[in-house]
Structure 1
Amino acid sequence: MSQPLKDILVLDFSTLLPGPMATLMLAEAGAEVIKVERPVTGEDARHTSPKIDGESIGFAVLNHGKKSVAIDLKSEDARAILRPLLEKADVVVEQFRPGVMDRLGFGYEAVRAINPRIIYCSITGYGQTGPKAKSAGHDMNYVGDAGVLSLSRGPVDQPTAPFGLVADVGGGTYPAVVNILLALMARQQTNEGVHLDIAMSEGAFAFAYWAHAQGVIAGQDIGSASARLTGGLARYRLYSASDGRQIAVGAVEEKFWQAFCDVIGQPEALRDDWSDPDACAAEVARRLGSQPSTHWEPLLIAADCCCSVVKTPAEAARDPHFTARGVFDRTLNIAGQEVPALPLPIAPEFRSPAGSAGRAATLGEDNVRFGADLRDRE
């Protein structure tokens, strides 16, 4: 099957995570992505650890398969230099605070004047408008402001940081990709572009839809780790085995819960985790804590009751299931070494053949190709 975005040109002004991951997804579906970076140092992610022979692994994981143009956007002739690319680009992705691209001369209206069909995607923490629009923040701030972090923040004396970058990826990357694709479809009908205003904090709300129903619409108070899906019931919690490994008990449905209770020998009198969840959970914890995870894992697998041993990232990458599905078959080149590429939710039918996904371009590698003459501006 032909890659659906093979004729799409994307100019990527974004840095770090949300925008670069979004443009990586577009690149994997066939788009040509040109990363626009500042001269000399490039974007900050190029300097993050760990590294292979001086090359940042994190940067390569998010930016392989893209081209790189290094240019000082503050220079007087930056707009003239980039104009040929802006004229033929289909998508622009930027991640500056509101107003920054306008001051640089690359805001939506300025680019739209050059290319009316442009799909201009702005990814920010709080959106282009509103009292917090220009406020600084990171993932933890966004999920905190969205009320999501309060649902499972750990004990008061030892708060727990979120396990993943929910707002960055779930509130920034994914909405950006979805709306860019929708905009490309809409443009086929109208021949017009659009300015997409993606706010990471707003995108985080969807990850706790049940909290919206319970806390916003029904007006019920939701304490930390007190709801059905955040540890309020014994049947949906993390427990520790005797070897320190954790077991994820997700036996929400009654049939799974009863099957799990049978495995661990939970007494009938302590199986009702609705009437006395603490007593029930305490007994589950005692029983699971009496044996190592190696004892419980085959029993839980056999019971097929939505309970499993929590894996490390390295263990997950070796899981026979993911291996069988080819999740880590794609590789990228970092400093001459072939390493697994980050699994992304792009169907194999829309990607290039499995195997090497390329490498991250060196800073300014494509300047000459695209006519970005920077000899007097470095």
Structure 2
Amino acid sequence: MGPLQGIRVVEMAGIGPAPFAGMILADLGATVIRIDPPKRPGIGADLMGRGKRAIAIDAKKPGAAELIARIVERSSILIEGFRPGVMERLGLGPSELMAVNPRLIYGRMTGWGQDGPKAARSGHDINYISMSGVLGSIGDEVHGPSIPLNLVGDFGGGGMLLVAGVLAALIESHRTGKGQVVDAAMVDGSLLLMTMIYSMFQEDGWPSGPGNNLLDGGAPFYCTYATKDGRWVAVGALEPQFFKELVEVLDLGERFTTDNQYDQRRWPEMRRAFTERFLRRTRGEWESLFATSDACVTPVLTMGEALDHPFHQERGSFVKVGNLCQPGPAPRFGHYDEEERRLRRELVYDSTGILTEIGVAQDEIDALLGQELVIE
């Protein structure tokens, strides 16, 4: 179920952002067919395989490119995450596949882009976000950059950007009848996510090094604090009305007011006072005290705690996929039964079924399996 019902997507198996994009498209209701190599791809791909079907094809064998083209011919979108030139060497580049399907949206996911001085070079999330200014803006001057997992490059600036691009191109193809190539690069996407921060930096709204600014932990009302039991709370009281509630609950309203909230000369004193106050109670006690407040104070949960937290239990934030709990599909849609939409199945290998759907006769399927061009 979902708004992309009836849209078929071909995903060339890989790891990281392209499988994530395929998972989102499947969550949105698309039929996603993952084309695997004979040896199954890495764990990251399978963990994001929910809602997909897979067929294993040895792309290096004669006839493989033609068989994949037959699947693509009946599809709306193809996504791949290889280095530039790999798909072309397999005979599966845009010119070959768009010749059989002129309306095809050909989504390409790379780190450095399809061209440019680093296009052929290796890299990972950490490298792309280091070059875009993201990594150098997170952390502090004492401990150095803090790595935000691989969320900014791979997933936020990678897979999600690819989804946005292919869906925009799909809408245009319905208007024009023509497909196109979508070049999504993680270095571009991570830069795009920094648009507001770059603007602040150039307008003197980001005047200091990492860890000393408004949104990077520099402001004492936008950072984290340890609690009595050795856990942490997050404070995000940026706006005056939220700050007012914060200092009232902390019983610091006489020392700190909305008039001096943004006076950076007071920030060291404010941080010391907040640090001392939060150490007086446990994280659970602070969570209860701020539960009905707009002070923007929340517990810093571990992943294990988030899985069981009443907030997520009530919202149904997680779904069960096989033996694993995973974050559920997002966003939610008013026209669909969200409970049914959130029933996600594991990746299913269905080589014969996929070939049958595209019109391959059973005797040809048997021959393909016998040649081990297709692996059941």
TM range (shorter): 0.7 to 0.9
1:303 to 2:293 alignment: yes
Q: Could you tell me how far 1:365 is from its partner in structure 2?
A: 7.0
SS of the counterpart of 2:344? strand
SS of the counterpart of 2:285? helix
Tell whether the 8 Å contact from 2:10 to 2:79 is kept in structure 1 after alignment.
yes
Aligned twin of 1:173: 159
Tell whether the 8 Å contact from 1:37 to 1:363 is kept in structure 2 after alignment.
no
Change (3 A) 1:299 1:109: same
Tell whether the 8 Å contact from 1:119 to 1:196 is kept in structure 2 after alignment.
yes
Aligned twin of 1:85: 71
Aligned twin of 2:371: 376
Q: Could you tell me how far 1:129 is from its partner in structure 2?
A: 1.5
Q: Could you tell me how far 1:59 is from its partner in structure 2?
A: 4.5
Q: Could you tell me how far 1:11 is from its partner in structure 2?
A: 0.9
Aligned twin of 2:270: 280
Q: 2:320 aligns with which of 322, 331, 336?
A: 331
Q: How do 1:61-210 and structure 2 match up within 5 A? A: 61-157=47-143, 159-163=145-149, 165-210=151-196
Of the structure 1 ranges 122-131 and 217-226, higher mean CA displacement relative to structure 2 is found in 217-226
Q: Could you tell me how far 1:75 is from its partner in structure 2?
A: 2.0
Aligned twin of 1:23: 22
Q: Could you tell me how far 1:374 is from its partner in structure 2?
A: 4.6
Of the structure 1 ranges 2-11 and 347-356, higher mean CA displacement relative to structure 2 is found in 347-356
Q: Could you tell me how far 1:124 is from its partner in structure 2?
A: 0.6
Tell whether the 8 Å contact from 2:11 to 2:19 is kept in structure 1 after alignment.
yes
**TM-score, normalised on structure 2?**
0.87
Aligned twin of 2:215: 229
Of the structure 1 ranges 147-156 and 124-133, higher mean CA displacement relative to structure 2 is found in 147-156
Aligned twin of 1:44: 42
Tell whether the 8 Å contact from 2:125 to 2:153 is kept in structure 1 after alignment.
yes
SS of the counterpart of 2:233? strand
Change (3 A) 1:159 1:70: same
SS of the counterpart of 1:315? helix
Change (3 A) 1:294 1:207: same
Q: Could you tell me how far 1:35 is from its partner in structure 2?
A: 0.5
Change (3 A) 1:346 1:259: closer
Aligned twin of 1:291: 281
What is the alpha-carbon distance in structure 2 between the residues aligned to residue 256 and residue 238 of structure 1? 16
Tell whether the 8 Å contact from 2:6 to 2:30 is kept in structure 1 after alignment.
yes
Change (3 A) 1:59 1:92: closer
Aligned twin of 1:50: none
Of the structure 1 ranges 116-125 and 356-365, higher mean CA displacement relative to structure 2 is found in 356-365
Tell whether the 8 Å contact from 1:36 to 1:70 is kept in structure 2 after alignment.
yes
Instruction: Report the AA paired with residue 343 of structure 1.
Output: G
RMSD between aligned alpha carbons? 2.5
What is the alpha-carbon distance in structure 2 between the residues aligned to residue 9 and residue 176 of structure 1? 16
What is the identity percentage for the equivalent residue pairs of Structure 1 and Structure 2? 30
Instruction: Report the AA paired with residue 289 of structure 1.
Output: L
Map Cα deviations across residues 95-125 of structure 1 (whole Å, 9 max, x no partner): 0011111111111111111211110000111
Q: What is the total number of aligned residue pairs between the two structures?
A: 359
Aligned twin of 1:342: 327
Q: Could you tell me how far 1:135 is from its partner in structure 2?
A: 2.0
The gaps in structure 2 that reach 5 residues or longer are none
What is the alpha-carbon distance in structure 2 between the residues aligned to residue 258 and residue 81 of structure 1? 65
Tell whether the 8 Å contact from 1:36 to 1:68 is kept in structure 2 after alignment.
yes
Tell whether the 8 Å contact from 2:13 to 2:45 is kept in structure 1 after alignment.
no
Of the structure 1 ranges 250-259 and 151-160, higher mean CA displacement relative to structure 2 is found in 151-160
What is the alpha-carbon distance in structure 1 between the residues aligned to residue 186 and residue 200 of structure 2? 22
Tell whether the 8 Å contact from 1:247 to 1:293 is kept in structure 2 after alignment.
yes
The gaps in structure 1 that reach 5 residues or longer are 46-57
Q: Could you tell me how far 1:264 is from its partner in structure 2?
A: 1.6
Tell whether the 8 Å contact from 2:206 to 2:213 is kept in structure 1 after alignment.
no
Tell whether the 8 Å contact from 1:68 to 1:365 is kept in structure 2 after alignment.
no
**TM-score, normalised on structure 1?**
0.86
Where relative contact order (Cα < 8 A, 6+ residues apart) is larger, the structure is 1
SS of the counterpart of 1:12? strand
Change (3 A) 1:267 1:351: closer
